[in-house]
Homo-oligomer: A and B are copies of this chain.
């Protein structure tokens, strides 16, 4: 039995459009309705036949839904919740895919009093965005984190779990607060660092932009991928997971200072020790299927 039969996806970017495609690929008898605030995106969604129906208002997209998934930047969750509140069926479950969870849960509870909310976050993506960048297999083998709290009925969380498992995702539950500190480490701070270093490299007077590009295969190019991610989405993540990000940044800054000090004082043993302990993590990530085992991410040579 399918956990949901009439699914509405609001926000048809990389993640939203991947959910639409996954519903069609893995739950072909379910109906999927889409809405996006951008008329251009709705037009593309219709042209590429992304959903069974694309509506022109958020409210119209939810009238018949048993699951509504909000796939908009985390700063917009509250407003979108308010937009659908009047049209939402009483038994519909609302979920989302936002990269920060405590602030989203608070915003949705305020906008949708009495509604069953199961916040979610599929830890998957690419650097591309928009309705044409999604694909059905995006969630396969990746983790999806659900962050119910004590107001969330267990049966609702179980249905969401079943939904994501149909797409091939592994599902984990944790508190919104724990999610936010874990993702600050594994996603938010890495993105902040990548955005910053790409900016810094552009600003060095002694090195031209052309040189940065030509010699990027020395390591820099790896950072440019995630630094090409959607700016609105990431602005909202940092504004909405401020405390956890600043805490991890503080730790990282201390560690960077220690590295610089080791370089300045020529402490080769400290550098060697620091550079030796990091290989085991890479090995585990590959062993657990979270990255490609091929050298250089499998890039063509």
Contacts and interface: CB of A to CB of B under 8 A. Distances in A.
Contact of A231 (B182, B204, B209, B272): B272
A81 B160 CA distance: 65
Interface in A122-169: 123-128, 133, 135, 137-138, 140, 142-143, 145
Interface stretch (A26-34, A36-44, A54-62, A232-240): A232-240
A271 B191 CA distance: 12
A239 B225 CA distance: 29
State which size class the interface on A falls in: 35 or more
Contacts of A225: 222, 282, 291, 296-297
Contact of A140 (B123, B239, B290, B301): B301
Contacts of A204: 181, 185, 248, 251
A284 to B, nearest CB: 5
Interface string A191-216: 11111111111111011010111111
A143 B239 contact: no
A18 to B, nearest CB: 10
A292 to B, nearest CB: 5
A190 B219 contact: yes
Contacts of A238: 263, 271
Given A246-B264, A281-B209, A193 B186 contact: no
Nearest to A252: B200
B218 A246 contact: no
Interface centre among A197, A249, A275, A276 (most CB of B within 10 A): A275
A185 B213 contact: no
Contact of A256 (B124, B196, B224, B295): B196
Contacts of A190: 197, 218-220, 222-223
A189 interface: yes
Interface of A: 75, 99, 123-128, 133, 135, 137-138, 140, 142-143, 145, 170, 172, 178, 181-183, 185-204, 206-207, 209, 211-229, 231-232, 234-236, 238-239, 242, 245-246, 248-249, 251-253, 255-256, 259-260, 263-264, 266, 268, 271-272, 274-279, 281-285, 288, 290-292, 295-301
7 contacts: A182-B215, A187-B218, A193-B223, A194-B219, A194-B222, A216-B291, A221-B291
